[in-house]
Amino acid sequence: MKGLQYLGLVIGSGIFFLAALGIYTTELNRDLTKVDKATGRVILSAVITHRAGGTRSFPQKVFMFQLNNINEALGTYRPEQVYTRLVENIKVGDTITVFYAKNRPHNNLNIDVYQIVKNGQILQDYKSYAHNNSIAAVFLIIAGFAILIFGILVIELKRYARQMDKKQSV
């Protein structure tokens, strides 16, 4: 039984490590020449409160915008939730170029926007997007280690308690 418990812990922790590796290999090393790109006129822009993970996630401030030639609302999330530069530089009627992942909405908002450019000026660069995802990868690695250590601790404490019960009953 103990071997199966350890196997379960290793598999569970491995899932976290694989998720982190997936984020690292796909999201942190993306070639912007190979992603969806759209240039259009802004028809909507605002800072909104959004739940990226659905109703069970915490609401976060997100800068949301929509272009006249795209059928999905786009947005960008920053951990510090400061969008002053974007609010000041992206107004309704402006023409911008967006590098993003098409049709990847998170609760009706596509927050996989890699880079935003207006008049040749980069308003949001890909490095900031990659940085946010590297934070997620590190979190997953830490969570994987925590689950592994906590699981081993629980298994060993149960084993110790059984040994103590056997000694007391003798």
- Provide the residue ranges of all domains of the chain, joining segments of one domain with +: 2-26+133-169, 31-124
Alpha helices in 28-125 (DSSP H): 84-89
> Hey, what are 58's tokens?
């915490």
What residue type is assigned to position 91 of the chain? K
For residues 142-159, give the mean pLDDT.
79
- C-beta separation of 67 from 44 below 8 A: no
**63-118 confidence digits (pLDDT tens):** 999 999 998 999 988 878 889 999 999 999 999 999 998 876 666 888 889 999 99
Give bridge partners of residue 21 from the DSSP assignment. Answer: none
What distance in Å separates the CA atoms of residue 75 and residue 61, rounded to the nearest whole number? 10
Q: Which of 158, 39, 12, 16 is nearest to 97 (CA)?
A: 39
For domain 31-124, say whether CATH 1.10.10 is its number.
no
Q: What confidence score (pLDDT) does residue 80 get?
A: 82
